[in-house]
């Protein structure tokens, strides 16, 4: 059975749920098809979670000029961090339940080095601070006040990240909420970006304001190397978006890269990582979203998520397009 037909049939017959062995069997077919369609991949390329064409265009500019994949993913992510209208990354990110905007980000280079910031406040470009942690300190992660202090010492400006629009959204949430974070499947907009430069080297980055209205102090998957992001320049890279707790529990991005190491295509690897979450005992997957995107050393790409509200932006061969992902649940 072709999986696309399976999904179509499922929706036509009113079946809203598609998990288990039937889907696994179908996923195999879809991956084979994806493999065929991506076998002529050309470099350089950049992919990112969600519809972020301005960000991938910036990364592409860097790659086309002969820049490194590392510069490309940093500069690309910075576009979304500076976009005060985007409410899930950098400036304008939705706050925690107490009204604080706190950012998580990480970056990883072709040598397998990484840097990360956790619970960073008052600094827009968390991804650049993460890169400085990687390049200018002997550490991998800096958190909270220490990360903020480190940012100021390295020339970053203090800024109020809570915009009027995000403040208003938080105030409205406070009135009607039962005081729990939003795990709405449409509310996950972490930007994760993976690039391969002209020399064939891979890097990745991930930046977010995390779950909207989370508990103060909550940290998700996005700054955790192996969960939110993983890069192995010999094999490929993966990055996650969605409910970070579920990604952390399955060490999702590392899993996707290890599955590619075992020979799976990026598409099949993303699908298996999602299957692991969905097929866990008592999984509550109907009520949350997780999505992965991945690229292998050949420049083949894949993306997959639990729900339909997921897409990947891909800039390759002068084409900057947003690709809607397949999904488990209609």
C-alpha distances out from residue 55 to 47, 80, 191, 270, Å: 10, 6, 9, 22
C-alpha distances out from residue 308 to 81, 102, 179, 321, Å: 25, 27, 27, 18
302 near ligand ASP, judged by CB under 6 A: no
Residue choice 109, 116, 190, 305 for contact with ligand ASP (CB under 6 A): 190
CB 250 within 8 A of CB 238: no
How far, in Å, CA of 219 to CA of 209, rounded? 10
Residue choice 31, 116, 207, 208 for contact with ligand ASP (CB under 6 A): 208
Q: Give the SS3 label for residue 160.
A: coil
Instruction: Pick out residues in 62-121 that bind ligand ASP (CB under 6 A).
Output: 88
311 near ligand ASP, judged by CB under 6 A: no
- Rounded to a whole number of angstroms, the minimum distance from the CB of residue 101 to ligand ASP is 13
Residue choice 90, 95, 220, 266 for contact with ligand ASP (CB under 6 A): 220
181 near ligand ASP, judged by CB under 6 A: no
204 near ligand ASP, judged by CB under 6 A: no
In this complex, which beta carbon is closest to ligand ASP, that of residue 44 or of residue 86? 86
222 near ligand ASP, judged by CB under 6 A: yes
Q: Is there a catalytic annotation at residue 190? A: yes
Please tell me which residue in 49, 190, 207, 250 is annotated as part of the active site: 190
In this complex, which beta carbon is closest to ligand ASP, that of residue 243 or of residue 269? 243
For the chain, give the number of residues. 330
Alpha helices in the chain (DSSP H): 3-12, 21-38, 53-64, 69-82, 126-136, 144-153, 164-176, 244-249, 252-261, 266-278
- Stretch near ligand ASP under the rule CB under 6 A, chosen from 112-120, 161-169, 183-191, 264-272: 183-191
DSSP labels, 25-59: HHHHHHHHHHHHHHTT--SSEEEEESS-HHHHHHH
In this complex, which beta carbon is closest to ligand ASP, that of residue 189 or of residue 300? 189
Interface residues with ligand ASP (CB under 6 A) are: 88, 188-190, 208, 210-211, 220-222, 241-244
| Catalytic machinery residues | 190
């Amino acid at each position: 059975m072709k999986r696309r037909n399976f999904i179509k049939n499922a929706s036509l017959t009113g079946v809203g749920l598609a998990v288990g062995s039937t889907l696994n069997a179908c996923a195999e077919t879809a991956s084979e098809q994806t493999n065929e369609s991506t076998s002529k991949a050309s470099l350089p390329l950049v992919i990112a979670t969600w519809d972020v064409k301005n960000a991938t265009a910036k990364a592409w500019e860097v790659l086309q000029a002969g820049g490194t994949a590392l510069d490309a993913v940093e500069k690309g992510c910075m576009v979304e961090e500076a976009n005060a209208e985007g409410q899930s990354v950098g400036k304008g990110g939705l706050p925690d339940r107490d009204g604080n905007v706190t950012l998580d980000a990480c970056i990883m280079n072709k040598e397998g080095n990484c840097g990360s910031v956790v619970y960073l406040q008052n600094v827009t470009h968390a991804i650049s601070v993460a890169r400085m942690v990687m390049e200018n300190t002997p550490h991998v992660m800096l958190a909270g006040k220490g990360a903020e202090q480190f940012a100021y010492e390295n020339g970053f400006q203090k800024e109020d990240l809570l915009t009027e629009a995000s403040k208003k959204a938080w105030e409205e949430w406070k009135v009607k909420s039962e005081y729990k974070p939003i795990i709405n499947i449409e509310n996950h907009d972490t930007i994760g970006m993976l690039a391969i430069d002209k020399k064939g080297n891979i890097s990745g980055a991930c930046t977010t304001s995390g779950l909207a209205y989370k508990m103060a102090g909550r940290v998700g998957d996005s700054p955790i190397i192996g969960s939110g992001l993983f890069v192995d320049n010999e094999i490929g890279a993966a990055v996650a978006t969605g409910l970070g707790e579920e990604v952390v529990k399955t060490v999702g991005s590392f899993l996707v890269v290890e599955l590619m190491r075992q020979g799976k295509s990026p598409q099949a690897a993303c699908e298996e990582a999602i299957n692991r979450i969905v097929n866990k005992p008592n999984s509550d997957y109907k009520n949350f979203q997780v999505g992965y995107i991945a690229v292998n050393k050949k420049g083949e790409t894949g993306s997959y998520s639990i729900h339909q509200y997921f897409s990947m932006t891909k800039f390759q061969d002068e084409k900057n397009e947003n690709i809607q992902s397949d999904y488990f649940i209609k």
